[in-house]
């Protein structure tokens, strides 16, 4: 936060970069930097890592994090901001229970044991 505030970004933009509330950032900056003039028109378009506020110089265009570990740590603490688009519900062919699975569209069974039971044990009897 110190790096972003020192660069002259707006409170709202600093809050967006770090995933914090704008009022929290404003209060911190006013306490830590009483003489700081914040330029409300300066826009920092993805210039700093959302997790550690390190500069993203030399990173690909549109990068939000400086490394994969910071990306994972940030999303782990900000799970409410995920879109959750890859979750899918299905009914298990073996036991008939409703399951929720991430990713794979072709999943038919809730577990390997259920697959074995449905595919081989019930057919043999």
pLDDT tens for residues 71-119? 899 888 887 777 767 788 899 998 999 998 887 778 889 999 999 999 8
Q: pLDDT band at 34, cuts 50/70/90?
A: low
pTM reported for the whole predicted model: 0.39
Average the pLDDT over each of 28-32, 62-66, 71-75, 100-104 and give the range with the smallest value.
28-32
Kindly state the tokens that stand for 58. 């030399």
Reading phi first (left if > 0) and then psi (alpha if -120 to 50, else beta), residue 57 is in beta
pLDDT of residue 9: 58
Q: pLDDT band at 14, cuts 50/70/90?
A: confident
């Amino acid at each position: 936060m110190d790096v972003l505030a020192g660069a002259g970004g707006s409170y709202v933009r600093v809050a967006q970069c770090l995933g914090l509330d704008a009022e929290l950032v404003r209060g911190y900056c006013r306490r830590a930097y009483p003489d700081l003039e914040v330029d409300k028109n300066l826009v920092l378009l993805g210039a700093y890592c959302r997790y550690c506020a390190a500069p993203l110089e030399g990173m690909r265009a549109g990068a939000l994090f400086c490394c994969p570990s910071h990306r994972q740590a940030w999303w782990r603490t900000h799970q409410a901001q995920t879109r959750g688009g890859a979750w899918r519900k299905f009914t298990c062919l073996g036991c008939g229970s409703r399951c929720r699975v991430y990713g794979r569209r072709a999943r038919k069974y809730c577990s390997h044991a259920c697959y074995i039971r449905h595919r081989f044990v019930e057919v043999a009897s």
